[in-house]
Structure 1
Amino acid sequence: MGLSAAAAETRIGIAQFGKHPQLDETVTAFKAEMTKLGVSDAVYDELQVNFDATLIPQMVTKLASNSPKLILAVTTPVAQGARQIVGNTNTPVVFAAVTDPVAAKLTPSWEAGDKAMTGASDLQDVASVITFIKKLLPDAKRIAYLYNPGEDNDVAVLKLMQEVTKAQGLELVEVGLDNTNDIPIRVGSLAGKADVIYVPGSNLVQPAVPAVAAAALSINIPVVNASAQAVRDGLVAAAFEVSYTKVGQNAAKLASEILAGKSTESLAPIKPAYEDHAAAINEAVLAKTGQKVPDSLKDCGCFVK
């Protein structure tokens, strides 16, 4: 792990958990946005630990020893490690790609930063997901939600789905899955009971998206996924996912304000809004379920083949 030897007025440390397309996208967008925001003299010391959590303290300590103006901590484990090591120093930390900073005890709430830390979340906004589904399938009234009752994140999203669908006058069809072997039967039972299936970022269900897609196609129900890869692979009709470019840009906005003199406590963590998500639509897969792309999405620039 080598540090840059260059000197500049604005030295920024970047602590990354490991090389990964979404995390790399976050960092690239962060640096580009910092330049756009006028931080043109920045020098970045970038380290990563190949997803070895035991090396996080060493990485953060090394970055902190170079006296940066601030540290960008990418992912929850890295942000938690940074908080422990530099939390009592004068080095502010901006996190990025942290799903729930409140649950992770990085910030006291969504309304305020911590005394040494704030940042940009990658928490998917359920209301925005439902808004997209309604745009894609304006006639859909019944949304099936596939989830693992034993997974905390799945249950947390379920509660949000219940609130949002109720508020918007939609029916939520809850489909709990204990194991992936049940998918063909459970999805097949949705015939005549659901107009669209939403698959969250579930550790159980996401790896089984091919099985979900096949079962849903057999009963002509379109699937909207939390990740766009299944859309690009021609498995599901659409996806609505958090843009990690936006996450990086949001982190940069906070970082530039800190460099301008604002305290981390005065800056609330940024939660992704509708415009911080990216849509992906596979028109051919959508057509297999007898659906067409509405005119309102014709110019979305989000079609994949």
Structure 2
Amino acid sequence: MIGTKYVVRTALAAVLGMGLGLGTASAETKIGIAQFGKHPQLDETVTAFKAELTKLGVADAVYDELQVNFDATLIPQMVTKLVSSNPKLILAVTTPVAQGARQIVGNSATPVVFAAVTDPVAAKLTPSWDAGDTGMTGASDLQDVNSVVKFVKKLLPDAKRLAYLYNPGEDNDVAVLALIKEAAKAEGLELVEVGLDNTNDIPIRVSSLAGKADVIYVPGSNLVQPAVPAVAAAALSVNIPIVNASAQAVRDGLVAAAFEVSYTKVGQNAAKLASEIIAGKSPASLAPIKPTYEDHTALINEAVLAKTGQKVPDSLKDCECFAK
């Protein structure tokens, strides 16, 4: 990026202390980036963070980047190494890294901006969604259920019944259930609850939705997401389109559509908070940012949608959101 310098260190060098001192480059704004590991969505978050920070006027930044290959035991060493270079702030990517940064940094003079944290309140990173904590605030990647249902209604305007597949034993799934009930009601949709205790139930439970549901929403469930191929096959047998929480199944030709949080937007939101902190604001005065409708991206597989007897409405034909 023009006008921005990067100093990138490997996690191995940081943790084993192979003599690589951080922050050797001279710049007005030094920023540490603590990443859990290399992953497309996390990399997208960091790339967008840097680009947005430059757009916001922080063009003289030096980035000290470390990652621990998803080894949580190495997070304390990573954060400690970054803090030792006295950065202006630290970007902590993912919940485990942000929690580790909280323990190491505490309420010291080094502020932390988190990114790709689903629920900072439940993770005890901020006291509420309305304010940051002393020394910490950031950008969530929590999918906005109201936005999801609005997209479902936009994609399938004639739909009257929305089926929600979830695991009753998974807290996250149950929490989304409570939210989606209200969201569906607001959009004039009847919610059809489909609880799944194990993946063996999927074929019969999904097939039984024939005549009972017009569309199925599959959330980011740890039980249901890995079984999307089975869900898709069963839904297609009864001509019910699926809107998924992840776009990969759309690209793979399994489901009709997806509506997911954009990690580019998550990175941009984190950068906005970081720029305000660099300008002198305290993290406690900055509420964590929760994704809005505009912070999500849609992806539609027109061929799969057609297999269920549906077509893309005119309102979405120019959306530039079709799988290729």
Q: Normalized against structure 2, the TM-score is what?
A: 0.93
Paired amino acid for 1:17? F
- Of residues 195, 200, 216 in structure 2, which corresponds to 1:176? 195
Paired amino acid for 2:109? N
1:275 equivalenced with 2:294 (yes/no)? yes
CA contact (8 A) 2:75 2:100 kept: yes
1:146 equivalenced with 2:165 (yes/no)? yes
1:78 equivalenced with 2:107 (yes/no)? no
CA distance in 2, matches of 1:29, 1:87: 26
CA shift, 1:165, in A, is: 1.2
CA distance in 2, matches of 1:88, 1:79: 13
1:286 equivalenced with 2:305 (yes/no)? yes
SS class of match (2:46): helix
SS class of match (2:115): strand
SS class of match (1:95): strand
> Counterpart in 1 of 2:225?
206
- Of residues 187, 193, 207 in structure 1, which corresponds to 2:206? 187
> Counterpart in 1 of 2:128?
109
> Counterpart in 2 of 1:15?
34
CA shift, 1:109, in A, is: 0.3
Paired amino acid for 1:92? P
CA distance in 1, matches of 2:38, 2:160: 41
SS class of match (1:127): helix
CA distance in 2, matches of 1:195, 1:292: 14
Paired amino acid for 2:63? Y
CA distance in 2, matches of 1:266, 1:88: 14
CA distance in 1, matches of 2:319, 2:281: 36
CA contact (8 A) 2:150 2:187 kept: no
Paired amino acid for 1:29? A
SS class of match (1:88): coil
CA distance in 2, matches of 1:88, 1:206: 38
**What do the CA deviations read for 1:245-292 (whole angstroms, capped 9, x no partner)?**
000000000000000011101100000000000000000000000101
Paired amino acid for 1:38? G
**What do the CA deviations read for 1:195-217 (whole angstroms, capped 9, x no partner)?**
00000000000010000000000
CA shift, 1:4, in A, is: 5.1
**What do the CA deviations read for 1:215-240 (whole angstroms, capped 9, x no partner)?**
00000000000000000000000000
**What do the CA deviations read for 1:105-148 (whole angstroms, capped 9, x no partner)?**
00000000001100000000000000000100000010000000
CA distance in 1, matches of 2:183, 2:152: 12
> Counterpart in 2 of 1:63?
82
1:165 equivalenced with 2:184 (yes/no)? yes
SS class of match (2:103): helix
CA shift, 1:167, in A, is: 2.5
CA distance in 2, matches of 1:164, 1:280: 21
Paired amino acid for 1:6? A
> Counterpart in 2 of 1:53?
72
Which runs of no fewer than 5 residues in structure 1 stay unpaired? none
- Of residues 241, 246, 249 in structure 1, which corresponds to 2:260? 241
* Aligned pairs, number: 305
> Counterpart in 1 of 2:113?
94
1:125 equivalenced with 2:140 (yes/no)? no
User: Cα RMSD over matched residues?
Assistant: 0.7
Percent of matched pairs sharing the same residue: 88
- Of residues 24, 37, 45 in structure 1, which corresponds to 2:56? 37
CA contact (8 A) 2:247 2:258 kept: yes
Which runs of no fewer than 5 residues in structure 2 stay unpaired? 1-10, 14-21
CA distance in 1, matches of 2:188, 2:163: 14
CA distance in 1, matches of 2:80, 2:205: 50
CA distance in 1, matches of 2:194, 2:102: 38
CA shift, 1:169, in A, is: 2.3
Paired amino acid for 2:47? T
